[in-house]
Chain A
Amino acid sequence: MTQTLNIPQGETVERVLIDEPELDWHIVQQAHSVLRLHLISFTSAKHTIWIEQQGEGCQTEIYGLTFVRNNETCTLNTRVHHNIGGGTSKQVVKFILGGEAKGEFFGELKIAPDAQQTAAQQTNRNILLSDKATMRTRPQLEIYADDVKASHGATTGQLDESALFYMQQRGLSPEQGRQMLLQAFMADIIDAITDEAQRTALANAIETLVVLNKEQGAKTAPL
């Protein structure tokens, strides 16, 4: 069932959600409110987030990170609606998929006729670590106002082979190279968390997943 949340005028809400299997939220933002949402998944997840900027000058930030390597299915469905002008929204969504994992990102961005002077951006970058992992991405932009800035971009690829070879040529093992490239890929998501304790906790969780997994003999597929 959809849960509705209201962010009162001028308030700031920041939530860091790690490994929530299911979320179905409708968030309504009043004027000059700020929402920062960090959705981090290391396991199967289905997240549906509908955000409406109801008052002027709202700020919305969504950071999504999914890092799975078995046969998980992870879906992130965002709908960001700028109903009124002067607002900003920023979405940075990243998936790292290994094994036979499936990822899906549907991102709807709607700028209503009255929502002049809106600045909206949506970025989706994905890395597939195996041939059997799959990613579906579907950005959908509906822009009905003319005085706006809106951008979106989506890429899906593999780790940079030329970077890996460069690192090997300096004596790093392929595994060390992949670890460094993956940590670099996730860095901006980690850095976006305002609270230092939460940021450190996430960085440590990622470090454990990326670096220590193999040494601890976890069942997860190798990088």
Chain B
Amino acid sequence: MELLRINDLHATIGDKEILKGINLTINAGEVHAIMGPNGAGKSTLSAVLTGNPAYTVTQGEVYLKGKNLLEMSPEQRAREGVFLSFQYPVEIPGVSMVNFMRTAVNEKRKYEGKPALSATEFLRLMREKKALVEMADKLNNRSVNEGFSGGEKKKNEIFQMAMLEPCLSILDETDSGLDIDALRVVANGVNKLKTADNASIVITHYQRLLDYIVPDFVHVLADGKIVKSGDKTLALELEKSGYAFLEQ
């Protein structure tokens, strides 16, 4: 089943064109890795798909399950099941994780026509999902990401992903700043959340993450376009020879 279709997507920030014609189709059950040098537009792609107002789409179309994604507000995209694990999760002092997540989960349920979760149901769900990323209990009572270590922040992103059960997850450089243990925990969490009905886009610089989250497809993004696609062996090739082939 086709989940996401990107046709000839162009996007700018200010006067600068970053995405210069992206084409990509993702089916349910697939994991797509997007690799590429700095400045290729990897993070811009995730920002544009989630509706970040800093970027302007100048051309092209994006469909999520046949619906025009670009016409939707950021929150509507989220409620439709688009989730971004941020490269730099934002600290929000004074807003508790519990309150934040309860609002997020119940907004999504409302959108789907389901009743809000009771306090008991919600806390049970939190406990269950926290175990998935081996997250400490104390994080519940803290403000969103405030004072979290790099590893805790990334675990917290995957925890939120587990809570919201998205159909399309975008993991933006989830491996950056993680030690090998945290990387394993985060990747385990992502793998356990994989089903036949959802899909992931894994944006990464290094092959390392792809040892743990094995992609079905690997795409190389360079200068705003996908210049090469292949299976997981492409990532290994890139690891060995770098992006030098782009110069040729």
Contact = CB atoms under 8 A, between A and B. Distances in A.
The finding on whether chains A and B are genuine partners in a shared complex, rather than unrelated, reads yes
Interface of A: 160, 162-163, 165-174, 176, 180-181, 183-185, 187
Contacts of A187: 94
B111 A170 contact: no
B95 A168 contact: no
Contacts of A171: 75, 78-79, 104, 107-108, 111, 164
A160 B93 CA distance: 11
B90 A162 contact: yes
Interface string B92-134: 1111000111011001100100000000000000000000000
B107 A172 contact: yes
B73 interface: yes
Contact of B100 (A162, A173, A180): A180
A166 B164 CA distance: 14
A168 B107 CA distance: 11
Nearest to A170: B104
Contacts of B144: 166
6 contacts: A166-B144, A167-B92, A169-B75, A170-B78, A170-B104, A172-B103
Contacts of B52: 165
Interface residues of B, number: 31
A184 B75 contact: no
Nearest to A174: B75
B99 A168 contact: no
B212 to A, nearest CB: 24
Nearest to A182: B94
Contacts of A183: 94
Given A169-B78, A171-B111, A172-B75, A181 B92 contact: yes
Contacts of B164: 170-171
Contacts of B90: 160, 162-163, 165-166
A166 B157 CA distance: 11
A170 B94 contact: no
B169 to A, nearest CB: 12
B44 interface: no
Contacts, number: 70
B150 interface: no
Contacts of A174: 75
B88 to A, nearest CB: 9
Contacts of A163: 90-92
Given A184-B92, A185-B94, A166 B103 contact: no
A163 B108 CA distance: 19
Contact of B94 (A166, A168, A169, A184): A184
Given A170-B164, A185-B94, A176 B86 contact: no
Contact of B95 (A165, A169, A184): A184
B74 interface: yes
B78 A166 contact: no
Nearest to B86: A166
A165 B52 CA distance: 7
Contacts of A176: 103, 107
Contact of A184 (B51, B73, B93): B93
A169 B80 CA distance: 11
* Most A-side CB within 10 Å, residue of B74, B84, B91: B74
Contacts of B74: 165, 168-169
A166 B75 contact: no
B50 interface: yes
B60 interface: no
Contacts of B198: none
Pick from B53, B79, B90, B111 the residue with the most CB of A within 10 Å.
B90
B200 interface: no
B29 interface: no
A183 B99 CA distance: 12
B107 A180 contact: no
Contacts of B21: none
A181 B83 CA distance: 21
A174 B164 CA distance: 18
